[in-house]
Structure 1
C-alpha cells in the first residue's frame, strides 16, 4: 500500500514542472481519503490527541453558543424553521454539548459534512437529533432563518505560500530533491486568483518574508454568503489582522505542524501524520464577506466575546458561583494567557434573502 510521501512523489513526477503548489500538498496531507491526517476519520482531541480546542475544554463552550442561538431565535420572532447549522463538526462533540444545553427547545440542528466517515462518527454520537447536508450549496434553498457556527475550520483549509524576494512576491512550490525529502522552490504564481491577491500585499517587507494566502477561505465565505438563511454567523479560529501578518516577528509565516502537542515549522516532514494549520487573515475574511453582502456584527478576542456572551448566564446564577469544573472551563476559554487571546471570534450577519 502506498504511503502519502509515495503518492506525493508520484504526483510530482507526473507534473510537467516537477513541482506542485503547497496548497495541493497541504490538501493531500490533510484530506487524502486514506492517508490524510483528517481524511481517514475524526482524530483524537485533547490530552490524548495532538492539540486542544475550545470544545475539548468541556461543555461550557457549547452552552454559551446555545444561549447565543436562543437569543438569535427570539430576536427573529421565534420562526419555526430556525436551524443551527454547524460546519467542521468533527466527531459531533460540540453539537452534543449545544443540543444538551438546548434540551426541550424546538430548534433544529444541521451539520454540513461531505466526508462519510465523519458523518458516521457524528451519527453514532448524535443519532436522529441532527440532519446532514454534504455542502453549503444545499443551503441555497433553506432554511430561511438560522445561526451558523464553526470552530477552527478555515485554519485547516489548504493555503498557498508566497515569499517576498526583495522585488516581487513569488509562490513557493514543493519539489523533491531526489531523495526521500521535499523542499520549497520559488516560482511565478500558479493561478490568476493568487496573482490578484498578491497585488494587494505590501512591498516594503524584509526579503524572505513569507505569507499564507487562503484562497479556499475566500471561496468558502462566498458560498456561505449565498445561503438562504437570515441570521448570525459565528466563526472562532486562530487568526490575525492583516497588519499583524506583516510584522517582522512573523516573517516565517504562520503555517505550523502539530503532533502530540508539539508545534514546529517543519511542514514538509511526516506528511499525513501531523496536523497542518495556519492563522487566518481576519481582515481579508471580513472584507470578502462584506463584498458579498454579509455584515460584521462583532469581532474580538475570544476571551472578550465569550465574556459578553456569558453575561446572561452569569446573571442567571443569582450570586451562586458555578462549580469548580465550570469555572475552570470558563477560565480556559477566556483568560488571555490561555485561549482567550490566541483565538478570535467573528460574528457576521446574513441578511434576509429576497
Structure 2
C-alpha cells in the first residue's frame, strides 16, 4: 500500500460514514504536498516518464506558440509590458522553448505556480528570465496586455464522479473495501454547485453510465475571466464535445490512471504514484467562458490548429523541407494518428476587464 493510501485509510476511519467524495481523493492523490503524484515536484515526462506531452516531443511546440505570441503582440500594436502568462508550466521546459524562440522580443514571461517545489525546478531551469505568481488572483491588477497559455492543465483538475442509476444521478464516494483496497459507492450529491451541473445531464442513458463533473475547471474559467489583461487565451488539452461523453462506449467515464506509458481505469490503485487525468468537456468550458465575456476565436483538433499556426513558418522555408528532427516533431504534433487528433485547442479572445 502506498503512503498516500495509508493516509487515506486513516482519514476515512475518522469520517462519520467512512467515505469521501472521489474529487477529494483525486486531489490528495495528485497534489498532497508529500505523498501526491505532483506534490513533491515535477514528474519526468517523455520516454523516461509516465506519459508524453506536446512539450516532450521537442521544442517545435514552443516555437509555434512563440510565433502566436508575437503575432498577438503585433496585433495589439506592440504595447509596453506585453506578457506571456503560462499556467501549469511543470518543469519549465515549454517556457524555455518559447523564450528561446522569441529572439529577445521585449516581452515579460510570468508563470502561475502555487507549488514551491515546482517553482524551484522552474527557477533552476529559467533563472531571471521569468517572474512567478502563486495564483490567477494575482493577475487582477495586471498586466494590461497578455497572451495566456496552458498545456494539459484542466485535465488534471480533481473531478466529481456521478453515475446514473436509472432514476437519478448519484455522486460516487470512496470507502475502504478491506485493509488493502478501496471501492466506489453511490450517495447523495454533496453541493448545490454539483447539483446544478447534474441538472444539465440527460436522463435517457443506461443505468451505470458514469460521468466526470469538473467544477474546478469552471471556477478556473471564472477566475481567468477576472484577470485584468486583454488579449488571447490558448488552451491545449485532450477532451471531448459534450455529446461525446454520452455514447455507450464511454459509459464507464474517461477518468484514467497513467504509469510508465500504460493506461487503465483502476484509478483507486497505487494512489499517489500514478497520474490521474480525465477528458475535459470543451462544450461546457466554452459556455462558461462565454458567460464571462470571453469569445471563441478557434476550437479544433490540435493538428489543424498547429498546422495553421505553422503556415507562415512553412512558407518561409520556400519549398525546402525542415530538418529531419523538426519534421518528426511536426508530424507527432499534427498527424491524426499521433497527437493531432487526440488533443484539441481552444483559442479565446479576452477583452480588458471592465
TM over 0.5: yes
Offset of residue 353 of structure 1 = 2.5
Offset of residue 112 of structure 1 = 0.2
SS state at 2:238 partner: strand
Listed as ranges, the matches of 1:122-161 within 5 Å are 122-161=122-161
Cα distance in 2 for partners of 1:26, 1:311 equals: 40
The count of corresponding residues between Structure 1 and Structure 2 is 353
Cα distance in 2 for partners of 1:233, 1:272 equals: 31
Offset of residue 315 of structure 1 = 1.0
| Residue 117 of structure 2: aligned partner | 117
Cα distance in 2 for partners of 1:318, 1:74 equals: 24
Offset of residue 18 of structure 1 = 0.9
Deviations 1:271-326 (A, max 9, x none): 00100000000000000001111111100000000000001111111222110000
| Residue 186 of structure 1: aligned partner | 186
| Residue 40 of structure 2: aligned partner | 40
Cα distance in 2 for partners of 1:176, 1:103 equals: 55
| Residue 285 of structure 1: aligned partner | 285
Offset of residue 179 of structure 1 = 2.1
| Residue 328 of structure 1: aligned partner | 328
TM-align CA RMSD: 0.8
Question: Once superposed, which parts of structure 1, at least 4 consecutive aligned residues long, lie more than 6 Å away?
Answer: none
Cα distance in 2 for partners of 1:156, 1:104 equals: 32
Cα distance in 2 for partners of 1:296, 1:277 equals: 25
Unaligned runs of 5+ in 1: none
| Residue 76 of structure 1: aligned partner | 76
Deviations 1:170-227 (A, max 9, x none): 0000000232110000001011100111001000111100000000000001000000
| Residue 208 of structure 2: aligned partner | 208
Listed as ranges, the matches of 1:226-305 within 5 Å are 226-305=226-305
Cα distance in 1 for partners of 2:298, 2:15 equals: 44
Between stretches 165-174 and 176-185, larger displacement belongs to 176-185
Residue 20 in 1 paired to residue 20 in 2? yes
TM (norm. structure 1) is 0.99
Cα distance in 2 for partners of 1:214, 1:102 equals: 35
Kept in 1, the 8 Å contact 2:164–2:207? The answer is yes
Unaligned runs of 5+ in 2: none
Cα distance in 2 for partners of 1:341, 1:132 equals: 33
